[in-house]
A and B are shown apart, each in its own frame.
Chain A
Amino acid sequence: MESRIKKLREQMASGQISCLELTKTYLEAMDKENQKINAYVRSTPEVAIETAKRVDQKIASGEPLLPLEGIPMTLKDNISTKGIETTCCSKILKGYTPIYNATVWDLLQKQNAVLLGKTNMDEFAMGSSCETSCFGGALNPHDTSRVAGGSSGGVASAVGGNLAVYGLGSDTGGSIRQPASFCGLTGLKPTYGAVSRYGLIAYASSFDQIGPITQSVEDAAIVYDAISVYDEKDSTSRGKVGAPVCETLKNSIKGRKIGIAKEYFDGIRDDVNKAIQNAIQVYESLGAQIVYFDMPSLKYSLPVYYILACAEASSNLGRYDGIRYGYKTGHYADRNEMVCKTRSEGFGKEVKRRILLGTYVLSAGYYDAYYKKAQNLRGELVKAFEDAFQKCDVMLAPTVPMTAFPLNFTAKDAVETYLTDICTVPVNIAGLPAVSLPCGFDAAGLPIGMQLIGNRFCEATILNAAHQYETAVGDHVFRSAEMGVRL
């Protein structure tokens, strides 16, 4: 899979296409086709065109272009954009216009990234199908009767549907990797601390991480290099460790140890398993060594994730009280009722459920049994991964046990829906980097994804391994959706 970003930049630099033409092509395609997939909840044509003009001036003056300069892209609607409404796809934030920029958006603006619009997501990033969005869910460009995945479903839908070259999503429990997998794309969840969270509207602060969804591994590497910068505004920020990841993509992976933890394969669908086994063979043919081991503590990942993420969420979402910003109820008898009604009317069902769960596990009498125990288990999982990376350089696992599910599938049973996150959450618990990339199709032609998991700040290692696989298999595990801009 070639880098679309590089190709378009070269086309612009060589004068084959102007940035304005490119931008308008995307804006027109969005106008025409977004309704099919509901990827965008807001377009920003003025911002896009203004930036495009600036880029064209720069090209005219002969200045070289920065890696992401002039490339049409999108941001998930939980990344704060000054002067542009940012809602987390929640009724409670409708009309909210940030007065400051998220650090990632600052970084991209400095490169003259062309923002086409803000994309759909599960409300406050809580969900696996994008269907908890107050704007209705984003649909899968490969099959619009199916979900794009969640929570960054809109980004995946837009990039997969060729309505953006790349996008930034956020991954708290799989929200970049799962929709990337469902839409046949590359999704990178960076190491916790690699990308600044400043301006990312929090779901669960110790899990959230911003990352790219792209059409190729190289594109993901280019975007990652641009956004993994230390930020003094985020105390948990460290930035990139080591050289730009783009520099090592082409390295041979001969002798690399790829670890397989059996627990990742419990209960996954046969066709998904088959695709992964094929990928393992590809790696063997590339000279990698496959190591198998057990990670028994992985079985606690899901409850640990839901307990801790919901606990943090219950606190992070306390601020939506209608006083300073966002939705406020129309009728109330006193201040307490104002706050309660605002929140009850403004939040959707899934968000309320998670706030209640989080409040419960932190409340007096339950803290030790749930929150504290989960925190201890989190420590144990961190250690289990440390041990695993003594045995291997990269771990390979399915991204999701299945492929994109039909609409309304997740609405029935909360716990069953949570199970779809089983392969993605361990990485967030341990704060590790992981990239999901396509590795085949199921019988219905829906993309299957696999993920490569690395040790802390080893993005270069996993992207190198991903790129080598991608190069080796050629284009037959990738298929562009029949829509949008295909230049």
Chain B
Amino acid sequence: MVTHEEILNIANLAKLSVSPEELDELTKDMNEIIGFADTINAACPQASDFDNINGLSNAFREDIVVPSYDREEILKNAESRDDGYFLVKKRM
């Protein structure tokens, strides 16, 4: 059983705020989904720890500098910026 407290703890890790009204519904949903996920508990997997899906290895890049993006571009989508920085104002 997933408890209210666990939901709040997970929500905090995921940086989501959960209102008291949402909490009941979310807890119910999560219990349903976790219950469904629990069906895997009946399985005893034979395969050892799964590696990456396409079996590739050593995809490397050479250490050669490519010019960075124009700062205007980098900051273009930021809601708030100042003096070349991304800015998070203290409060709004």
B-contacting residues of A (Cβ < 8 Å)? Answer: 95-97, 99, 192-193, 206, 232, 235-236, 238, 297, 300, 302-304, 306-307, 314, 318, 321-341, 343-344, 347, 352-353, 355-357, 359-361, 363, 369-370, 372-380, 382-383, 413-415, 418, 431, 456
Contact = CB atoms under 8 A, between A and B. Distances in A.
A357 B30 contact: yes
Contact of A356 (B30, B61, B79, B88): B30
B16 A236 contact: no
B88 A324 contact: no
Given A96-B77, A206-B53, A360-B10, A374 B40 contact: yes
Contacts of A96: 77
A347 B16 contact: yes
Pick the 5 closest A-B CB pairs, nearest first. A379-B47, A325-B77, A379-B50, A376-B45, A235-B59
Contacts of A302: 36
Nearest to A332: B92
A328 B80 contact: yes
Contact of A414 (B33, B48, B59, B88): B33
Given A232-B61, A382-B50, A332 B37 contact: no
A373 B45 contact: yes
A206 B56 CA distance: 13
A379 B13 CA distance: 28
Contacts of B33: 306, 353, 357, 414-415, 418
Given A99-B73, A232-B61, A334-B91, A377 B54 contact: no
Interface string B28-70: 0110111011111101011111111110100101000000010
Given A343-B14, A353-B29, A377-B45, 17 more contacts: A95-B77, A99-B76, A193-B53, A300-B40, A303-B37, A324-B77, A334-B90, A335-B90, A344-B17, A344-B18, A352-B16, A356-B7, A356-B26, A357-B33, A357-B34, A377-B43, A383-B46
B14 A193 contact: no
17 contacts: A97-B77, A206-B52, A306-B37, A314-B14, A329-B92, A339-B15, A347-B16, A356-B11, A356-B30, A359-B13, A360-B10, A363-B10, A375-B49, A375-B50, A380-B47, A414-B29, A456-B54
Contacts of A333: 91
B41 A376 contact: no
Interface range for B:
35 or more
B10 A379 contact: no
Contacts of B86: 323-324
Most chain B CB within 10 A, of A236, A325, A357, is at A357
A356 B16 contact: yes
B68 to A, nearest CB: 12
B32 A414 contact: yes
Contacts of A339: 15
Contacts of B11: 356
B40 A356 contact: no
A339 B12 CA distance: 11
B47 A383 contact: yes
A238 B54 contact: yes
B77 A326 contact: yes
Nearest to B14: A359
Contact of A325 (B2, B52, B78): B78
Contacts of B32: 413-415
A418 B50 contact: no
A373 B59 CA distance: 27
Contacts of B16: 340, 343-344, 347, 352, 355-356
Contacts of B73: 99
Contact of B91 (A300, A332, A372, A374): A332
A481 B74 CA distance: 44
Given A340-B16, A377-B40, A235 B88 contact: no
